[in-house]
Amino acid sequence: MGHRHTIHQHHLGWDNSFAPVVHAAPGESIEFDVVDAAGGQLSGASSAADIGRLDFSRINPVTGPVHIDGAEPGDVLQVTVLSFAPSGWGWTANIPGFGLLAEEFREPALHLWRYDPSTLAPALFGQWGKVPLKPFAGTIGVAPAAPGLHSIVPPRRVGGNMDIRDIAAGTELFLPVEVPGALFSVGDTHAAQGDGEVCGTAIESPMRVALQFDLIKQVPLSYPRFRTPGPVTRHLDAKGYEVTTGIGPDLMQAARAAVGSMLDLLTRSHGLPAIDAYLLCSVCGDLRISEIVDIPNWTVSFYFPRTVLE
Window 69 to 98, contacts with a copy of itself (CB under 8 A): 98
C-beta of 17 vs 297, nearer to a copy of itself:
297
- Tell me the three state secondary structure of residue 256: helix
C-beta of 43 vs 218, nearer to a copy of itself:
218
Burial of 103 (0-12, 13-18, 19+ CB in 10 A): exposed
Q: Interaction with a copy of itself in 23-62: which residues (CB under 8 A)?
A: none
Q: Interaction with a copy of itself in 242-301: which residues (CB under 8 A)?
A: 242-247, 251-252, 255, 257-258, 260-261, 264-265, 286-297, 299-301
What φ, ψ does residue 295 adopt, rounded to 5°?
Answer: -45, 135
131 to 170: interface string for a copy of itself, x by CB under 8 A: ----------------------xxxxx---xxxxxx----
Phi-psi region of 4 (alpha: psi -120 to 50; beta: other; left: phi over 0): alpha
C-beta of 7 vs 81, nearer to a copy of itself:
81
C-beta of 164 vs 182, nearer to a copy of itself:
164
Q: How far is the CB of 172 from a copy of itself (least distance, A)?
A: 10
- Using the rule CB under 8 A, give the single segment among 9-17, 66-74, 197-205, 206-214 that binds a copy of itself: 197-205
Distance CA 243, CA 193 (A): 17
DSSP 8-class letter at 4: S
**HSE of 137, CA atoms in CB hemisphere, 13 A:** 34
C-beta of 121 vs 238, nearer to a copy of itself:
238
Q: How far is the CB of 69 from a copy of itself (least distance, A)?
A: 26
Distance CA 228, CA 278 (A): 28
Q: How far is the CB of 1 from a copy of itself (least distance, A)?
A: 25
Distance CA 143, CA 256 (A): 32
Distance CA 151, CA 60 (A): 9
